[in-house]
Amino acid sequence: MQRGSSERELAAGWEAEAVAVAEAPAAAAAAEPVGVDSRAAGEPERKAPEEQSKERARAQPRAAEEGDALGVPRPPPTLPLAKPQPARVRGLCPHRKPRSKGRGCRRSSGRSADESCSQRPVTVDSSKARTSLDALKISIRQLKWKEFPFGRRLPCDIYWHGVSFHDNDIFSGQVNKFPGMTEMVRKITLSRAVRIMQNLFPEEYNFYPRSWILPDEFQLFVAQVRMVKDGDPSWKPTFIVKPDSGCQGDGIYLIKDPSDIRLAGTLQSRPAVVQEYICKPLLIDKLKFDIRLYVLLKSLDPLEIYIAKDGLSRFCTEPYQEPSPKNLHHTFMHLTNYSLNIHSGNFVHSDSTSTGSKRTFSSILCRLSSKGVDIKKVWSDIISLVIKTVIALTPELKVFYQSDIPAGRPGPTCFQILGFDILLMKNLKPILLEVNANPSMRIEHEQELSPGVFENVPSLVDEEVKVAVIRDTLRLMDPLKNKRENQSQKLKQPRAVKEEPSDSEPASASDANPNPEAHLPSICLKQVFPKYAKQFNYLRLVDRMANLFIRFLGIKGTMKLGPTGFRTFIRNCKLSSSSLSMAAVDILYIDITRRWNSMTLDQRDSGMCLQGFVEAFFYLAQRKFKMLPLHEQVASLVDLCEYHLSLLDEKRLVCGRSGASGGRAPDSGTPQEAAASAPLAQGTPAACTNSAHKVSHSRHALS
């Protein structure tokens, strides 16, 4: 019931964007897609500002690079020079007045330092951008921001990394990678994260194929396949094996039976995920294809998700047939990876968005719409898939984040563009294939001129989609946007009370161009969360469990829970009882921790990982609330834990106030207990004890 209403609201909210994107290619062959600059249309528009800037540069001396770095404000280029400016003297501002430390000179017009700061360009460090550099350069040029391709001695506003958060040591600004994202979207880790959600909400997470992790679950895989075949002899499945560390289609192959020799021979040396193969995909021109959608994770806490209105469709290069022993090895028939199919003799490079082996997703939607397909429903299902997948990933991402950027310590804020690979089934149901932490942002392809001789040729389809995604991501992350908006509001306020300026009075730069993005198309990224948070917040149970886990870690920077922290969690949440002694709690901790440590390659820290904590939490919930479905058991236990911890927090707050007025707050026994607001000692002031009784009237209702 809840799911049906969510889909209807989701489809209604996305209607305008879906229709606009789908109908854009049909409007005119040369028309520009929604929110995207085409190369043909964009080139003449970029030349005019560049020529104007060159003329302005010749007309006035350019400030030194270090002057730019120190943020010395330049005179707005639109202001005419009434008289020659006097030479600058060290220690004096341009108006021959003493310069105060840390503050720029104020003009006679009353412009504040904040206004001058808001007029400076946003600075971007692109020294680690790697393959996304070309698209990034175009985006920065369109935004009229300032790029530092070789890095900068002073901090930049935005750092663009090509691989991971750790490409460079950053202590401020914004970086386009989250710590731990590369590890989280690896095939094994992603499968485990989605499986937890499938255990809680099987109907909501049926968009991910049934998966087994090898070699750990090889025997389980064999047993389950045999059991299903015994029950249904007509079942003839196909499975796809994906190496955990593989990328760009490397090492992927199909099998019909778990006894396949290749599978048994590579298990120990190369861990992998084996999944049910989708045998009935949607075909266009008799070819199988997938969809690469770009998703912006703008913020982790609070969670904020955007989806690009257009993406790419990558096609196989051999007509599709359902898997059989004869065609299992036909890579160009079954695998949609661009990096594989580009080596096929049938691969078609095209500058058109609706033909060739790589097309825009909007052209596919247009074609489906012409056949009567409800594209609003398709978009609704895709949005739901994306939000649910990100909800599955965020709990462990929070653990990584607090490890690399602990609360209270200096560090950058993070955002990241993810690549979602989605397959549409014949019935138009979207299936998640994988998530890419570093989706390719190259806007050219290799073309073989002669045997062994290649040349990079621009790809208009890639540029059309990818430049818009990067540019509009930067627009959403613009750190000076709020300052500019505040400045424009201040400029509007005096107009109502002051006299109109005379014709001879020069207009300021802000008056001449109040909106610096006026020359840009509308943003191609659509917010889907928290916009649709009401429909999906009930799925965030594991996220709340991760908050409990982080609270009891105790030591900043660690990612695993020690035995003392686990005991403190049990004690503070009142989970021990006559049937669950603290000795039984210790045994539970040891068994789960030992099993998970044997399955993970990272042995840097000892203790219980988040997945182990989730397993222990499920066990405790099933013991305490026996007659409920699993998701209700877990939700009830989360509520109970949060309730008891709120009591401790209030008690600690009251004790802190009474201690400040003359009492003394008791010391906590261990770092874990101190971090988790452990119960206070017997010497607690009377005010603290009385407050605890006042707020505990509903304790019995939850316990």
Condensed to tens digits (0 to 9), the pLDDT of residues 140-151 reads 999 999 999 998
Looking at residue 683, what is its pLDDT?
41
Pairing, β 146-148 against β 123-128: parallel
The pLDDT, as a whole number, for residue 187 is: 94
- Tokens found for residue 657: 């106030």
Angstrom distance (rounded) from CA 485 to CA 481:
6
More confident position, 487 or 229 = 229
Q: Is the pLDDT of residue 108 over 90?
A: no
DSSP label at residue 120: S
The more confidently predicted of residues 555 and 525 is: 525
CB 237 within 8 A of CB 277: yes
Lowest mean pLDDT among 185-199, 239-253, 512-526, 682-696: 682-696
Q: What is the pLDDT of residue 700?
A: 42
Report how far residue 652's alpha carbon sits from residue 649's, in angstroms, rounded to the nearest whole number. Answer: 5
Going by pLDDT thresholds of 50, 70 and 90, the confidence category of residue 350 is: confident
Per-residue pLDDT at 11: 56
| pLDDT confidence bin for 44, thresholds 50/70/90 | very low
**Res 211 pLDDT > 60:** yes
pTM of the shown model: 0.78
Of the ranges 100-104, 340-344, 425-429, the best mean pLDDT one:
425-429
pLDDT at position 13 is: 58
DSSP letter at 320 equals: -
Q: What is 177-224 written as a DSSP string?
A: --TTHHHHTSHHHHHHHHHHHHHH-TTTTTTS--EEEETTTHHHHHHH
Exposure string (b/e) for 266-277, b if CB count within 10 Å is 16 or more?
beeeebbbbbeb
pLDDT at 602 over 80: no
**DSSP structure class, residue 89:** -
Residues of the chain with pLDDT > 90, as a percent, come to 50
CA nearest to 487, candidates 119, 144, 157, 123: 119
The sign of the CA dihedral 602, 605, 611, 612 is positive
Does 472 have pLDDT greater than 90? yes
Question: What b/e string do you get for 470-491 counting C-beta neighbours within 10 Å, with b at 16 or more?
Answer: bbbbbbebbebeebbeebeeee
pLDDT at 682 over 60: no
Asked if 391 contacts 345 with a C-beta cutoff of 8 angstroms, the reply is no
| Rounded mean pLDDT, 70-83 | 43
pLDDT at 34 over 50: no
CB count in 10 Å sphere of residue 320: 18
Q: For the packed helices 375-404 and 541-551, what is the interaxial angle rounded to 10 degrees? A: 0
Q: ∠ CA(683), CA(562), CA(542), 5° rounding? A: 100
How buried is residue 426: exposed, middle or buried, by Cβ count under 10 Å (0-12/13-18/19+)?
A: exposed
Predicted confidence (pLDDT) at residue 117 exceeds the cutoff of 80: no
Q: How far, in Å, CA of 72 to CA of 65, rounded?
A: 10
- 455: amino acid identity, one letter: E
Q: Which of the four pLDDT bands, split at 50, 70 and 90, describes residue 56?
A: very low
pLDDT digits (tens, 9 = 90+) for 426-468: 999 999 999 999 999 999 877 766 777 777 888 899 999 999 9
Average pLDDT over residues 523-534: 96
**What is residue 25's predicted lDDT score, i.e. its pLDDT?**
44
Round to whole Å and give the CA distance between 333 and 319: 6
Residue 251: per-residue pLDDT = 83
- Mean pLDDT on 544-552: 95
Residue 414 is which amino acid? C
Residue 636: what pLDDT? 97
pLDDT score of 631: 96
Say which range, 64-73, 115-124, 192-201, 664-673, has the weakest mean pLDDT.
64-73
C-beta separation of 273 from 188 below 8 A: yes
What pLDDT was estimated at residue 130?
A: 85
pLDDT at 106: 44
Query: What pLDDT is attached to residue 492?
Result: 64
Q: How far apart are CA 395 and CA 611, in angstroms?
A: 10
Most confident stretch, 43-57, 251-265, 637-651:
637-651
Place of tokens 């563009």: 417
Q: How much is the average pLDDT of 2-12?
A: 55
pLDDT at 89 over 80: no
d(CA 459, CA 254) in angstroms, rounded, equals: 31
User: What is the C-alpha to C-alpha distance for residues 663 and 647, in angstroms, rounded to an integer?
Assistant: 20
pLDDT of residue 667: 47
Q: Mean pLDDT check: name the lowest of 270-284, 401-415, 423-437, 547-561.
A: 401-415
Residue 59, pLDDT score: 42
Spatial separation of the C-alpha atoms in residues 268 and 346, rounded to whole Å: 36
Cβ neighbours for 680, distance < 8 A, ≥ 6 positions apart: 651, 652, 655, 665, 666, 688
Q: Cα 150–437–18 angle (5° rounding)?
A: 110
3-state SS assignment for residue 307: strand
Distance, in Å, from the CA atom of 178 to the CA atom of 360, rounded to the nearest integer, reads 28
Q: pLDDT at residue 694 above 80?
A: no
Burial of residue 517 (CB within 10 Å: 0-12, 13-18, 19+) is: middle
Q: What is the pLDDT of residue 368?
A: 96
Q: What pLDDT does 445 receive?
A: 78
Residue 103's φ and ψ, nearest 5 degrees, are -140, 135
Position 269, amino acid: S
- Report the candidate in 429, 426, 364 with the shortest Cα–Cα distance to residue 21: 364
Structure tokens at 132: 């996304």
* 72-86, 439-453, 470-484, 564-578, range with greatest mean pLDDT: 564-578
DSSP state of 522: P
- Dist CA 675 CA 669 (whole Å): 11
Q: Which element (helix H / strand E) includes 430?
A: strand 430-436
263 compared with 509, residue with greater pLDDT: 263
Residues 264-283 have a mean pLDDT of 84
pLDDT at 189: 95
| Residues, the chain | 703
Higher pLDDT, 604 or 428: 428
User: Which of 202-211, 246-255, 431-440 has the weakest average pLDDT?
Assistant: 246-255
Cα 315 to Cα 424: distance, rounded to the nearest angstrom: 12
Residue 621 has pLDDT above 60, yes or no: yes
Q: Of 1-15, 181-195, 236-250, where does mean pLDDT reach its minimum?
A: 1-15
Count CA atoms closer than 13 A to 384's CA, side-chain side. Answer: 26
Mean pLDDT, the chain, rounded, equals 79
- Going by pLDDT thresholds of 50, 70 and 90, the confidence category of residue 689 is very low
3-state secondary structure (DSSP) of residue 174 = strand
| The pLDDT of residue 78 is above 60 | no
Task: Please give the Cα distance from 437 to 615 (Å, whole number).
Answer: 26
The answer to which of 229-238, 392-401, 584-593 has the lowest mean pLDDT is: 229-238
Residues 632-678 pLDDT 10s: 999 999 999 999 999 999 988 888 777 666 555 444 455 555 555 54
Report pLDDT for 39: 40
Task: Give dist(CA 570, CA 566) in Å, integer.
Answer: 6
Chain position carrying tokens 């002899």: 233
Whether 155 has a pLDDT exceeding 70, the answer reads yes
pLDDT of residue 458: 86
User: Exposure string (b/e) for 117-144, b if CB count within 10 Å is 16 or more?
Assistant: ebbbebbbbbbbbbebbbbbbbbbebbe
Q: Is 173 left (phi over 0), alpha (psi -120 to 50) or beta?
A: left
Distances (CA, A) of 203 to 71, 197, 222, 378, 393: 55, 10, 25, 18, 18
Q: Which of 413-422, 487-496, 514-523, 572-581 has the least mean pLDDT?
A: 487-496
Q: Please report where in the chains the tokens 């003839």 appear, as a residue.
A: 236
H or E element at residue 295: strand 287-299
- Asked whether residue 554 carries a pLDDT value surpassing 60, the answer given is yes
Q: Cα(271)–Cα(54) distance, rounded to whole angstroms?
A: 56
Separation between Cα atoms, residue 37 and residue 483, nearest integer Å = 27
